[in-house]
Amino acid sequence: MSPVTGCELCIQEGGLPVFRDDTLRVIRATDVDHPAFYRVIWNAHVAEWTDLPPPDRSRIMQAVAKVETVLREQLQPTKVNLASLGNVVPHLHWHVIARFEWDARWPAPVWAPAQRAVGGAEARLARPLSEVDALIAASLSGPAG
Ligand SMILES: [Zn+2]
Protein backbone atom coordinates (compact mmCIF):
# COMPACT_ATOMS: atom_id res chain seq x y z
CA MET A 1 0.00 0.00 0.00
CA SER A 2 1.25 3.46 -0.84
CA PRO A 3 1.71 6.30 1.60
CA VAL A 4 -1.40 8.40 2.02
CA THR A 5 -1.05 12.12 1.50
CA GLY A 6 -1.54 14.02 4.71
CA CYS A 7 -1.11 10.96 6.97
CA GLU A 8 1.55 11.79 9.51
CA LEU A 9 2.35 8.13 10.24
CA CYS A 10 3.01 7.53 6.53
CA ILE A 11 5.53 10.33 6.34
CA GLN A 12 7.02 10.47 9.85
CA GLU A 13 8.42 7.93 12.27
CA GLY A 14 5.88 9.04 14.90
CA GLY A 15 8.26 9.25 17.86
CA LEU A 16 11.63 8.04 19.07
CA PRO A 17 12.57 4.94 17.04
CA VAL A 18 12.85 1.77 19.14
CA PHE A 19 12.45 -1.03 16.60
CA ARG A 20 11.60 -1.41 12.92
CA ASP A 21 11.24 -4.29 10.50
CA ASP A 22 9.52 -4.74 7.14
CA THR A 23 6.02 -4.76 8.58
CA LEU A 24 5.90 -2.68 11.74
CA ARG A 25 7.77 -0.36 14.02
CA VAL A 26 7.79 0.56 17.68
CA ILE A 27 8.32 4.13 18.78
CA ARG A 28 8.40 5.82 22.15
CA ALA A 29 6.25 8.91 22.44
CA THR A 30 7.71 11.92 24.19
CA ASP A 31 5.17 12.49 26.95
CA VAL A 32 6.64 13.98 30.11
CA ASP A 33 3.63 12.92 32.18
CA HIS A 34 3.60 9.33 30.88
CA PRO A 35 7.18 8.54 29.94
CA ALA A 36 6.74 4.80 29.28
CA PHE A 37 4.36 5.44 26.38
CA TYR A 38 5.01 3.32 23.30
CA ARG A 39 3.25 2.85 20.00
CA VAL A 40 3.29 -0.18 17.73
CA ILE A 41 2.67 1.16 14.24
CA TRP A 42 1.95 -0.90 11.13
CA ASN A 43 4.26 0.48 8.45
CA ALA A 44 1.78 0.33 5.58
CA HIS A 45 -1.27 2.54 5.68
CA VAL A 46 -4.30 0.60 6.83
CA ALA A 47 -7.04 2.14 8.91
CA GLU A 48 -8.51 -0.82 10.74
CA TRP A 49 -6.96 -3.88 12.38
CA THR A 50 -9.29 -6.13 10.35
CA ASP A 51 -8.00 -4.57 7.12
CA LEU A 52 -4.97 -6.81 7.69
CA PRO A 53 -5.02 -10.47 6.69
CA PRO A 54 -5.16 -12.78 9.74
CA PRO A 55 -1.42 -13.56 9.88
CA ASP A 56 -0.64 -9.84 9.99
CA ARG A 57 -3.31 -9.24 12.64
CA SER A 58 -1.51 -11.81 14.73
CA ARG A 59 1.87 -10.28 13.96
CA ILE A 60 0.96 -6.82 15.26
CA MET A 61 -0.73 -8.22 18.37
CA GLN A 62 2.34 -10.35 19.13
CA ALA A 63 4.41 -7.18 18.93
CA VAL A 64 1.98 -5.42 21.30
CA ALA A 65 2.31 -8.38 23.68
CA LYS A 66 6.10 -8.21 23.60
CA VAL A 67 6.13 -4.49 24.40
CA GLU A 68 3.64 -5.01 27.24
CA THR A 69 5.69 -7.89 28.63
CA VAL A 70 8.89 -5.84 28.74
CA LEU A 71 7.07 -2.94 30.42
CA ARG A 72 5.60 -5.26 33.06
CA GLU A 73 8.89 -7.00 33.74
CA GLN A 74 11.05 -3.89 33.85
CA LEU A 75 8.79 -1.20 35.28
CA GLN A 76 6.15 -3.06 37.32
CA PRO A 77 3.40 -0.61 36.33
CA THR A 78 0.14 -0.45 38.25
CA LYS A 79 -1.59 -1.16 34.91
CA VAL A 80 -0.78 -1.34 31.23
CA ASN A 81 -3.18 0.52 28.96
CA LEU A 82 -3.65 -0.76 25.41
CA ALA A 83 -5.59 1.36 22.96
CA SER A 84 -6.16 1.56 19.25
CA LEU A 85 -8.12 4.69 18.45
CA GLY A 86 -6.94 6.23 15.21
CA ASN A 87 -9.63 8.89 15.22
CA VAL A 88 -7.14 11.67 14.63
CA VAL A 89 -4.60 9.64 12.63
CA PRO A 90 -6.43 6.76 10.91
CA HIS A 91 -3.27 4.69 10.35
CA LEU A 92 -3.21 1.46 12.35
CA HIS A 93 -1.28 1.82 15.59
CA TRP A 94 -1.58 0.50 19.11
CA HIS A 95 -0.73 2.54 22.17
CA VAL A 96 1.02 0.56 24.91
CA ILE A 97 1.27 2.71 28.01
CA ALA A 98 2.65 1.83 31.44
CA ARG A 99 0.44 3.52 34.03
CA PHE A 100 1.18 4.24 37.66
CA GLU A 101 -0.93 5.37 40.59
CA TRP A 102 1.30 8.42 40.87
CA ASP A 103 0.92 9.52 37.25
CA ALA A 104 -0.69 12.81 36.30
CA ARG A 105 -3.99 11.35 35.06
CA TRP A 106 -4.39 8.15 37.05
CA PRO A 107 -6.93 6.52 37.07
CA ALA A 108 -8.30 8.33 34.00
CA PRO A 109 -7.06 7.67 30.45
CA VAL A 110 -3.89 9.48 29.41
CA TRP A 111 -6.00 11.67 27.12
CA ALA A 112 -8.08 13.04 30.03
CA PRO A 113 -7.25 16.33 31.74
CA ALA A 114 -4.39 16.09 34.24
CA GLN A 115 -5.53 15.53 37.81
CA ARG A 116 -2.27 16.42 39.50
CA ALA A 117 1.13 17.83 38.67
CA VAL A 118 3.87 15.23 38.64
CA GLY A 119 7.39 16.43 38.14
CA GLY A 120 10.19 14.12 37.15
CA ALA A 121 7.96 11.25 36.09
CA GLU A 122 10.73 9.54 34.14
CA ALA A 123 13.01 9.55 37.20
CA ARG A 124 10.38 7.57 39.13
CA LEU A 125 10.62 4.61 36.77
CA ALA A 126 12.44 1.52 37.95
CA ARG A 127 14.79 1.53 34.95
CA PRO A 128 16.06 4.14 32.51
CA LEU A 129 13.95 4.24 29.36
CA SER A 130 17.02 3.75 27.19
CA GLU A 131 17.37 0.30 28.77
CA VAL A 132 13.67 -0.43 28.35
CA ASP A 133 13.90 0.58 24.68
CA ALA A 134 16.83 -1.78 24.14
CA LEU A 135 14.99 -4.66 25.79
CA ILE A 136 11.90 -4.04 23.63
CA ALA A 137 14.06 -4.05 20.51
CA ALA A 138 15.75 -7.28 21.59
CA SER A 139 12.41 -8.92 22.30
CA LEU A 140 11.01 -7.95 18.90
CA SER A 141 14.18 -9.08 17.15
CA GLY A 142 13.88 -12.53 18.71
CA PRO A 143 11.78 -15.49 17.61
CA ALA A 144 8.09 -14.92 16.92
CA GLY A 145 5.59 -15.85 19.57
ZN1 LIG B 1 -0.71 6.40 6.93
Query: What distance in angstroms lies between residue 26's CA and the mean position of ligand 1's atoms?
Result: 15
DSSP 9-50: HHHS--SEEEEE-SSEEEEE---SSS-SEEEEEESS--SSGG
Cα distance between residue 25 and residue 40, in whole Å? 6
Query: What distance in angstroms lies between residue 16's CA and the mean position of ligand 1's atoms?
Result: 17
From the CB of residue 83, how many other CB atoms can be counted at a distance below 10 Å?
14
CA R_g for the chain: 15
Query: What distance in angstroms lies between residue 78's CA and the mean position of ligand 1's atoms?
Result: 32
Query: What distance in angstroms lies between residue 94's CA and the mean position of ligand 1's atoms?
Result: 14
- Domains delineated in the chain: 8-140 (3.30.428.10)
Query: What distance in angstroms lies between residue 100's CA and the mean position of ligand 1's atoms?
Result: 31
pLDDT tens across the length of the chain (145 residues): 678 999 999 999 999 999 999 999 999 999 999 999 999 999 999 999 999 999 999 999 999 999 999 999 999 999 999 999 999 999 999 999 999 999 999 999 999 999 999 989 999 999 999 999 999 999 999 876 5
